[in-house]
C-alpha cells in the first residue's frame, strides 16, 4: 500500500466514497507563490494574535488592568468567536471560494488590530480583540481549503507545514520586534503598524491566490455544516483527535499568554530581552517543527501504516517534563532553555494534526475538519486556562506566595501530558480507520 486515500465519514464512523474534485492543481512557480503568500498570511495572523502577550505588561499598566482581566482579554475574546464563526466560515470556504473567505478575514482582523491601538479602556480593547478573532476564525480553514484546491496530494503535508510555519515566524517577529518597538514608541504604535501591514497582505492575496471555483460535488453542497460536523465527531478516530486538540488548547494558550510575563516578573528580564530570546527560539523551533513535521507526515502517509500521530504524541510527553522544570528554574536562561521542547511540540503537531484530520474527513470537508480541530484547541483551553492562571497568580500575590504565576502555569505541563496520551490513543484509532477496505 503506497497511498492512503480517505473518504467521507458516515454516521457510523466508517468511510464512504466521495465525489472527486475536478480542480486542476497548480504547477511550478505558482506552488511556491501560493505557499509564500499563505505563510505571510499566517505569520501576520499570529503577530496580530500574540501582540497582546508581549505587550501585556505595558497594556496592563496603561489601562490599569489586572492579571484576571488580561486572562479574559487573551482568552474568551478569541474563544467565543472561534466557537460561533469558525464552522460556518470553514463551510463557506469548502463550498465556495476559499480566496474570497480568506481575503475578507485578513482585512477584518487587520482593521480591528489597528483600532486596538486607539483603545482607552478594557471594554474597547476587548471588542477589538473580538473583531480580530472573527477574522482569524476563518483564516486557517480557508487557507487549508486553498491548499487542497491548488496543491496535489504528494506535497500537501509540506504545504500545510509551510503555511503553519507562519505561526512560529509570526511569533518570533511579534515577540522580538513587538517588544523592541513597544519599548521605543509604545504599544499603540505596534498595533497600528501591524494592522496596516496586514491590509497590504490581504490585497496581495487577491493577486496571488487566483480564482478558486466551488467543488463539483452536489452531495457536499446538500449537507448542513452542523450535520457534517456531528458525522465527523461520530467517528472514534476523529473524536480522539478532537479530544487531543482540546487538551492542546489548555497547554498552548497559557504557555503563550504568560511565558513572557513569567520571565519578566520572575527573572527580571526586560521586554526586549525576553522578546528576542524567547521569540528567536520560538521561531527556530517553529521552522524546524513545521517543515520537519510536514515532511515527516508526508512520509508517514506514504508508508501506508496509517499511524500518523505517534511522533507528536511522544514529543508532548517530553515537553511536559521540561516545562515543569522551567517554571522552577533558578535562572532566566534556564527557564527559556527548558521551554524549548514545548515550543517545538506545538509547531511540530500542526502539519500532523491538520493533515490527519483531512485524511479522516475526506474530500470536500477538509476546511471543516480544520475548523473542528481549531475549535477543539481554541475554545475551552484559551477561554479557561489563561483565566485560571490569572486567578491563581492574583490569589498567590494576595497571600504573599512567591512565584504565583509559575504555580498557575503548572496547568501547561498537566495539559501536555494529557495531550500526549490522547494522541497515542488517536494514533491507533486512525491507523485502524484508514486501513479499512
User: How far is the C-alpha of 155 from the C-alpha of 127, rounded, in Å?
Assistant: 39
- In the chain, what is the straight-line distance between the N-terminal and C-terminal CA atoms, in Å? 12
List the CATH code of the domain at 26-212+222-434.
Answer: 1.20.1250.20
The pTM score is: 0.75
The pLDDT of residue 283 is: 79
- The single-letter DSSP state of residue 213 is P
pLDDT given for residue 313 in this prediction: 96
In degrees and rounded to multiples of 5, residue 16 shows phi and psi of -130, 155
Residue-wise burial string across 22-52, b where 16 or more C-beta atoms lie within 10 A, e elsewhere:
eeebbeeeebeebbebbbbbbbbbbbbbbbb
* CA atoms within 13 Å, Cβ hemisphere of 69: 15
The phi, psi pair for 8, rounded to 5°, reads -75, 165
Cβ 295 vs Cβ 343: under 8 Å: no
Question: Residue 213, Cβ neighbours under 10 Å: how many?
Answer: 10
* pLDDT at residue number 14: 43
209 grid coordinates: 491566490
Question: Which residues, in sequence order, are bridge partners of residue 16?
Answer: 8
Query: Looking at residue 218, what is its pLDDT?
Result: 43
Average pLDDT by consecutive 10-residue portion of the chain (437 residues)? 42 41 65 90 88 81 78 67 79 85 93 90 86 87 88 78 85 78 86 91 87 56 71 91 95 90 87 78 87 88 80 96 95 92 94 91 85 86 86 87 90 97 93 72
- Asked if 57 contacts 162 with a C-beta cutoff of 8 angstroms, the reply is no
Q: CA–CA separation, 296 vs 278, rounded Å?
A: 26
pLDDT of residue 400: 82
C-alpha cell at 89: 466560515
Q: What DSSP line would sit under 108-128, residue for residue?
A: HHHHHHHHHTT--SHHHHHHH
Packed helices 271-303 and 310-326: angle between N→C axes, nearest 10 degrees: 160
224 Cβ neighbours under 8 A, 6+ residues apart = none
| Contacts for 402-405: CB closer than 8 Å, 24+ residues apart | 403/266, 403/327, 403/328, 405/67, 405/258, 405/261, 405/262, 405/265, 405/266
Q: Which contiguous run of DSSP H or E holds residue 185?
A: helix 156-185
DSSP-derived secondary structure for 376-409: HHHSHHHHHHHHHHHHHHHHHHHTT-TTHHHHHT
pLDDT, position 19:
39
Q: Could you say which DSSP state residue 9 is in?
A: E
pLDDT for the residue 75: 62
The count of residues in the chain is: 437
Give the pLDDT of residue 105.
Answer: 93
Cell 513545521 belongs to which residue?
290
Rounded CA-CA distance 305/158 in Å is 19
The answer for residues whose C-beta is within 8 angstroms of residue 319's C-beta and 6 or more apart is 341, 342, 344, 345, 413, 416
Partners of 9 in beta bridges? 15
Q: Quote the cell numbers at residue 8.
A: 467521507
Amino acid at each position: 500500500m503506497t497511498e492512503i486515500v480517505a473518504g467521507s465519514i458516515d454516521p457510523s464512523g466508517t468511510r464512504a466514497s466521495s465525489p472527486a474534485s475536478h480542480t486542476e492543481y497548480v504547477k511550478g512557480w505558482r506552488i511556491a507563490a501560493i505557499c509564500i503568500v499563505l505563510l505571510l498570511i499566517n505569520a501576520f495572523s499570529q503577530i496580530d494574535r500574540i501582540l497582546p502577550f508581549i505587550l501585556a505588561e505595558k497594556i496592563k499598566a496603561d489601562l490599569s488592568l489586572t492579571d484576571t482581566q488580561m486572562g479574559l482579554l487573551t482568552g474568551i475574546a478569541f474563544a467565543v468567536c472561534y466557537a460561533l464563526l469558525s464552522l460556518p466560515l470553514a463551510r463557506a470556504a469548502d463550498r465556495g471560494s476559499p480566496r474570497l473567505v480568506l481575503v475578507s478575514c485578513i482585512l477584518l482582523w487587520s482593521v480591528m488590530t489597528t483600532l486596538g491601538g486607539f483603545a482607552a479602556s478594557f471594554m474597547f480593547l476587548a471588542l477589538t480583540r473580538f473583531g480580530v478573532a472573527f477574522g482569524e476564525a476563518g483564516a486557517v480553514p480557508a487557507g487549508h481549503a486553498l491548499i487542497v484546491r491548488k496543491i496535489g496530494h504528494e506535497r500537501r503535508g509540506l504545504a500545510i507545514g509551510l503555511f503553519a510555519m507562519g505561526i512560529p515566524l509570526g511569533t518570533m517577529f511579534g515577540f522580538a520586534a513587538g517588544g523592541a518597538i513597544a519599548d521605543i514608541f509604545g504599544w499603540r504604535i505596534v498595533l497600528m503598524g501591524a494592522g496596516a501591514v496586514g491590509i497590504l497582505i490581504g490585497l496581495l492575496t487577491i493577486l496571488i491566490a487566483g480564482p478558486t471555483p466551488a467543488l463539483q460535488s452536489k452531495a457536499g453542497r446538500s449537507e448542513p455544516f452542523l450535520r457534517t460536523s456531528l458525522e465527523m465527531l461520530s467517528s472514534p478516530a476523529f473524536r480522539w483527535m478532537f479530544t487531543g486538540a482540546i487538551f492542546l488548547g489548555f497547554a498552548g494558550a497559557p504557555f503563550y499568554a504568560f511565558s513572557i510575563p513569567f520571565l519578566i516578573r520572575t527573572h527580571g528580564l526586560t521586554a526586549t530581552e525576553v522578546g528576542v530570546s524567547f521569540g528567536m527560539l520560538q521561531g527556530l523551533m517553529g521552522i524546524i517543527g513545521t517543515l520537519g513535521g510536514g515532511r515527516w507526515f508526508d512520509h508517514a502517509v506514504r508508508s501506508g501504516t496509517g499511524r500518523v500521530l505517534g511522533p507528536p504524541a511522544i514529543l508532548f510527553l517530553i515537553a511536559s517534563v521540561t516545562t515543569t522544570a522551567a517554571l522552577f528554574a533558578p535562572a532566566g536562561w534556564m527557564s527559556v532553555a527548558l521551554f524549548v521542547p514545548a515550543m517545538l511540540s506545538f509547531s511540530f503537531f500542526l502539519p500532523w494534526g491538520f493533515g490527519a484530520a483531512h485524511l479522516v474527513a475526506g474530500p470536500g470537508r477538509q476546511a471543516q475538519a480544520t475548523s473542528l480541530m481549531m475549535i477543539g484547541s481554541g475554545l475551552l483551553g484559551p477561554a479557561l486556562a489563561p483565566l485560571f492562571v490569572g486567578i491563581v497568580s492574583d490569589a498567590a500575590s494576595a497571600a504573599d506566595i512567591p512565584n504565583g504565576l509559575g504555580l498557575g502555569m503548572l496547568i501547561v505541563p498537566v495539559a501536555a501530558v494529557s495531550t500526549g496520551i490522547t494522541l497515542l490513543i488517536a494514533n491507533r484509532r486512525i491507523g485502524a480507520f484508514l486501513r479499512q477496505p
